[in-house]
């Protein structure tokens, strides 16, 4: 199983970006899908998550600006980021919890994609 993240880049404050993450490999079921981020010198924090049922949750710092969505047919999760701020600069990671064919429940991380917001 692999997760391939894309969509990062350099933008100005106030701009928008859309991150995407696609899972390859075989799952019996994909459960929670998340986006986390890690700024230089800081710990990796949860940004947004979405359950199988579509329930979402966001970090307070991104509420009203970021929107997480999933496409179970494509086995992908996206993060629409609007009104970007300087403090959103970080490496963004997708994380997927899935049930494999051997019935193991595991979490998988994508490789990270850099988002840099400039003034």
φ and ψ of 10, to 5 deg: -105, 120
Q: How many percent of the chain have pLDDT more than 70?
A: 100
User: Tell me, what DSSP letter sits at residue 59?
Assistant: -
- Cα–Cα distance, 116 to 9 (Å, whole number): 6
Let me know: does 115 contact 16? Beta carbons within 8 Å. Answer: no
pLDDT tens by residue, 85-97: 999 999 999 999 9
What is the pLDDT, as a whole number, of residue 116?
Answer: 98
What is the pLDDT, as a whole number, of residue 76?
Answer: 96
Average pLDDT value over all residues in the chain: 95
The band of 1, judged by pLDDT with boundaries at 50, 70 and 90, is confident
Q: Which of 94, 90, 101 has its CA nearest to residue 23?
A: 94
Q: Which of 6, 5, 90 has its CA nearest to residue 41?
A: 90
The band of 27, judged by pLDDT with boundaries at 50, 70 and 90, is confident
Tell me: pLDDT of 25 over 90. no
What is the pLDDT, as a whole number, of residue 77?
Answer: 97
What is the pLDDT, as a whole number, of residue 7?
Answer: 95
């Amino acid at each position: 199983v692999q997760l391939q993240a894309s969509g990062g880049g350099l933008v100005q404050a106030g701009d928008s970006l859309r991150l995407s993450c696609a899972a390859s490999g075989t799952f019996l079921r994909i459960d929670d899908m998340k986006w986390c981020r890690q700024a230089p010198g800081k710990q990796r924090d949860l940004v947004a998550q979405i359950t199988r049922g579509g329930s979402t949750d966001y970090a307070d710092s991104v509420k009203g600006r970021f929107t997480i969505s999933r496409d179970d047919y494509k086995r992908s999760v996206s993060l629409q980021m609007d009104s970007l701020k300087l403090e959103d600069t970080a490496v963004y990671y997708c994380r997927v919890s899935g049930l494999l064919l051997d019935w193991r429940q595991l979490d998988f991380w994508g490789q990270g994609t850099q988002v840099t917001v400039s003034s």
